[in-house]
Structure 1
Amino acid sequence: MHQLEKESYLGNTKNKLTNNQGVSIIETEYNQKVSENWHSHQNAHITLFLKGGTIEKRKNEIHSVSSGSILFYHSDELHLNQNTLFPSKNINIEFDQAFLKNFEVTEETLKNATANTTKTKLMILKIFNESLIRDSFSDDSISMLLSSYAENKNYSEHFSKCPGWVKLLYELLNDCWFENTSLSDLSQTLHINPISISKHFPKYFGCTYGEYMRRLKVDRSISLIQQSSNSLTDIGLACGFSDQSHFIRTFKQQTGFLPKNFKKL
Structure 2
Amino acid sequence: MYNLEKEIYLGNSKNVYNKSDGISIIETEYQNKVYEGWHSHKNAHITLFLKGGTIEKRKKENFSVSPGTVLFYHSDELHLNQNTLFPSKNINIEIDENHFNEFEITEEILKKGTADTVKTKLFILKIYNECLIGDVFSKDSINMLFANLASNQNYLEQFSKCPNWVNSLYELLNDCWSENPSLNELSKILNINPISISKHFPKYFGCTLGEYIRRLKIDRSLTLMQQPSSSLTEISFECGFADQSHFIRTFKHQTGFSPKKFRDL
1:101-112 equivalences under 5 Å are 101-112=101-112
Structure 1 moving runs of 4+ over 2 Å: none
**Residues 160-195 of structure 1 deviation map (CA, whole Å, 9 limit, x = unaligned):** 001111111011001111110011110110000111
User: Could you say which residue in structure 1 is the equivalent of 2:259?
Assistant: 259
**Residues 37-63 of structure 1 deviation map (CA, whole Å, 9 limit, x = unaligned):** 110000000000000000011111111
Q: Distance in 1 between matches of 2:228 and 2:115?
A: 26
- Whichever residue aligns with residue 210 of structure 2, its letter is G
User: Could you say which residue in structure 2 is the equivalent of 1:173?
Assistant: 173
How far did 1:232 drift? 0.9
How far did 1:136 drift? 0.6
SS class of match (1:226): coil
How far did 1:228 drift? 4.4
Q: Distance in 2 between matches of 1:134 and 1:19?
A: 7
Gaps of 5+ in 2: none
User: Could you say which residue in structure 2 is the equivalent of 1:121?
Assistant: 121
SS class of match (1:105): coil
**Residues 95-127 of structure 1 deviation map (CA, whole Å, 9 limit, x = unaligned):** 001110110111101111111000000000000
How far did 1:236 drift? 1.2
How far did 1:21 drift? 2.9
TM-score by length of 1: 0.99
User: Could you say which residue in structure 2 is the equivalent of 1:200?
Assistant: 200
Q: Distance in 1 between matches of 2:58 and 2:195?
A: 46
User: Could you say which residue in structure 1 is the equivalent of 2:224?
Assistant: 224
SS class of match (2:246): helix
User: Could you say which residue in structure 2 is the equivalent of 1:56?
Assistant: 56
Q: Distance in 1 between matches of 2:49 and 2:171?
A: 25
User: Could you say which residue in structure 2 is the equivalent of 1:7?
Assistant: 7
Contact 1:51 1:227 in 2 (8 A): no
Q: Distance in 2 between matches of 1:107 and 1:27?
A: 22
User: Could you say which residue in structure 2 is the equivalent of 1:45?
Assistant: 45
- Whichever residue aligns with residue 133 of structure 2, its letter is I
Identity rate, percent: 71
User: Could you say which residue in structure 2 is the equivalent of 1:212?
Assistant: 212
Q: How many residues align?
A: 265
Contact 2:114 2:150 in 1 (8 A): no
Greater mean deviation of Cα atoms: 162-171 or 17-26: 17-26
Contact 2:14 2:27 in 1 (8 A): yes
SS class of match (2:87): strand
How far did 1:19 drift? 3.0
Gaps of 5+ in 1: none
TM-score by length of 2: 0.99
Q: Distance in 2 between matches of 1:215 and 1:79?
A: 30
Q: Distance in 1 between matches of 2:19 and 2:256?
A: 18
- What value does the CA root-mean-square deviation take over the aligned residues? 0.8
